[in-house]
Homo-oligomer: A and B are copies of this chain.
Amino acid sequence: MVPSELANALAEAGQRMDRHGWVPGSAGNLSARIDDTTIAITRSGVHKGRLTAADIMAVNYDGSAVTPGTKPSAETLLHCQLYRLFPPIGAVLHGHSVAATVLSMQGAITFSNYEILKAFGFSTHELDVILPVYENDQDIARLAAYIEPLITRDPPIGYAIAGHGVYAWGTSVEHAFWRLEALEFLLQCELERRRSK
């Protein structure tokens, strides 16, 4: 069901996220668009550092499993929402870094004048980019409904959920990983700046 190239790319991205320390325990989830009816996503309850292609399953755009019996990640609906709203998105990565967790508990995050902002398609570093932070909610359908008008009106470079982590995306798994890495780098820089002030 899931093309093996896609499953392998997601498994490898999980291992890279683990080497960075962004997926403690069984945290985090990774997905990629298969076609206009199905999405490949990590199944629930796997350590992302030990991810193999066998841990990737197919879901429909409403978040239900294509093959009943396996359970997708709890936050599958947030992934589906991004694919539905933004056609260029080919992959979505969600992790829990220390920097994202701590900073997202302290309110909105603005990144100013960083060269690395160019990783998100800006042609200059001279700008202020806001990473939106949404309140955490265990009711994922309700959280998705809350987020929808906000990201539709003003598509962000990614978003954070308070005390929880970040969502990043790109046109491919590799591209999504680059953007996640750039985002986590920016969060790390902000954490350092707040410390040394």
- Name A's B-contacting residues (CB within 8 A): 20-21, 24-27, 47, 96, 98-99, 101-102, 105-106, 113-116, 119, 123-125, 136, 138, 161-165, 174, 177-179, 181-182, 184-185, 188-189, 191-196
Residues of the B chain whose Cβ atoms lie less than 8 Å from the Cβ of A102: 189, 192-193, 196
Query: What is the minimal beta-carbon distance from A97 to any residue of chain B, in angstroms?
Result: 9
- Copies of this chain per assembly: 4
Cβ A24 vs Cβ B182 within 8 A = yes
Knowing that A102-B192, A102-B193, A125-B136 are A-B contacts, what are 6 other residue pairs whose CB atoms are under 8 Å apart, sorted by A's residue number? A27-B116, A102-B196, A105-B193, A106-B196, A113-B162, A195-B195
Selected from B96, B174, B196, the residue in CB contact (under 8 A) with A195 is: B196
